[in-house]
């Protein structure tokens, strides 16, 4: 049952437009899978393209989200994951204390990551 929840997939962003489109397409696939759980599923970026994470969060709030889940689409816990994303979330949370905000772990920390990499290493058909 949905309760005005939003999910933001936040990625680094790229100067290469097709890379940003990949993230947007992935977000659309997530929306199709999670439409029963989230009223809104959107992408946001930290650099090179829009919307920024702050813009994405404010958009969700404007659309009436009472809870925002932020999912970092990063493989490693570099500065964006450990510093930049939490700073933006804390800033918006301070301005909108009535909105519950949950910052998830980055995808690289997922327990299934080793299995995924192993599967891709042995079954991928793509060659250079």
In sequence order, what E strands does 13-118 have? Answer: 40-45, 67-72, 100-103
How many residues comprise the chain? 128
Helix axes 53-62, 85-95, angle to 10 degrees: 30
Catalytic entry in 7, 12, 23, 65: 12
Give yes or no: 106 in active site: no
Q: Which residues are part of the catalytic machinery? A: 12
């Amino acid at each position: 049952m949905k309760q005005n929840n939003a999910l933001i997939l936040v990625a680094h962003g790229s100067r290469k437009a097709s890379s940003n489109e990949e993230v947007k397409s992935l977000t659309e696939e997530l929306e199709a899978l999670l439409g029963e759980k989230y009223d809104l599923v959107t992408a946001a970026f930290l650099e090179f393209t829009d919307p920024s994470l702050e813009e994405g969060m404010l958009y969700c709030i404007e659309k009436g989200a009472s809870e925002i889940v932020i999912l970092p689409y990063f493989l490693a816990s570099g500065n964006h994951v450990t510093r930049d994303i939490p700073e933006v979330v804390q800033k918006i949370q301070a301005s909108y204390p009535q909105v519950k905000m949950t910052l998830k772990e980055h995808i690289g920390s997922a327990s299934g990551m080793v299995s995924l990499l192993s599967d891709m290493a042995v079954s991928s058909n793509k060659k250079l």
